[in-house]
Chain A
Amino acid sequence: MSLWKLALLIALFNLMTFGNGPVMIPLLQTHLVEGSRVLTQDQLLYAFTIARVTPGQANFYVASIGYMLYGMPGSIVATLAIILPGYIMIPLLHGFEHLRDSRWIKGSRMV
């Protein structure tokens, strides 16, 4: 498994799952532990636990997994893969503001 395949896998799982980090665990387990066997079960659980007990976002265990597999570049790529889908927020915000404004317009017309 190459670094880019890992990044793609994480980004894909991230997009597929709602409800944040823990949902991705079984997916990662199937693909990384049972599938390509690049990671042990213990490593996966360790990564999940340390991301959970440290402050900040709990889904940063992918950074830990990235580091275990490819060192520093791996952790950075994995982190980007988990962060970048958040940018879907920007078009959604625009849509929301548009909707709200149009509602206000409707409301004012009714008055």
Chain B
Amino acid sequence: MFSIFLKAGLAFGGGLGILAVLEDELVSKRHAVSRDEFLSIYGIARIVPSGTMTALAVAYGYKFGGLSGTVIALTALSLPVFVLTIALTIAYHYLRNSRLFDLLPVTIMPAALALIVVAALKLGKDVFRPSLELIIAGVAFSLALFLRLNPALILLAGGALGALVLQKAEEQNDTKKKGSEK
């Protein structure tokens, strides 16, 4: 268990890299879970409001080892990234006093911006089509950009509005279906 998740924790590329390793180890090699079950658990993990991979580690840790299993899986998954991130953070403090630090704004900062934009585009992929969600997203974006409202408030409002709109749309679909059945 520890070795599987340690291996997963060493995978590059964030969530999808980890997912690929887990699928390889648990489904293809060990046949510990069926492909259907793997996908179902991934689906549940995605709707959990927190890291999807964290949720997956909790799920499989619990499935195979109970509560202690979750601790083992989470530790193994998080150890590599934790150690490396802290090491690089310490490096930041040293860099600050050296001439290398002047290079940071032209090297790492554009990279960070690019990464954030890519992450945003990936998330928005499903929304970028003519739909009510896109309108909500556009309004939220301009509110954040021009009025400088607190993003937390925008998120909450957007979530509430989205839930209402989607529910209405579903009701309309239901009535349409009922109408066609008649």
Contacts and interface: CB of A to CB of B under 8 A. Distances in A.
B51 to A, nearest CB: 5
B47 A45 contact: no
Contacts of A85: 48-50, 54
A79 B50 contact: no
Interface in A7-63: 13-23, 25-27, 29-31, 42-43, 45-52, 54-61, 63
B132 interface: no
Given A26-B144, A57-B77, A86-B57, A42 B86 contact: no
Chain B at the A interface: SS class = helix
Contacts of B119: 21-22, 58
B105 A42 contact: yes
B89 A67 contact: yes
Given A23-B123, A46-B108, A56 B50 contact: no
B85 interface: yes
Q: How large is the interface on A (under 10, 10 to 19, 20 to 34, 35 or more residues)?
A: 35 or more
Q: Which 9 A-B pairs have the closest CB atoms?
A: A56-B81, A86-B54, A85-B50, A22-B119, A58-B14, A45-B112, A54-B84, A49-B112, A26-B151
Given A42-B109, A90-B59, 5 more contacts: A20-B51, A56-B11, A57-B51, A64-B86, A85-B50
17 contacts: A15-B49, A17-B155, A21-B14, A21-B119, A30-B150, A30-B151, A48-B115, A52-B14, A57-B14, A58-B15, A59-B54, A60-B81, A64-B85, A64-B86, A79-B82, A85-B48, A90-B59
Interface of B: 9-12, 14-15, 17-18, 40-41, 44-45, 47-59, 62-63, 70, 74, 77-78, 80-82, 84-86, 88-90, 92, 104-105, 108-109, 111-113, 115-116, 119-120, 123, 144, 150-152, 155-156
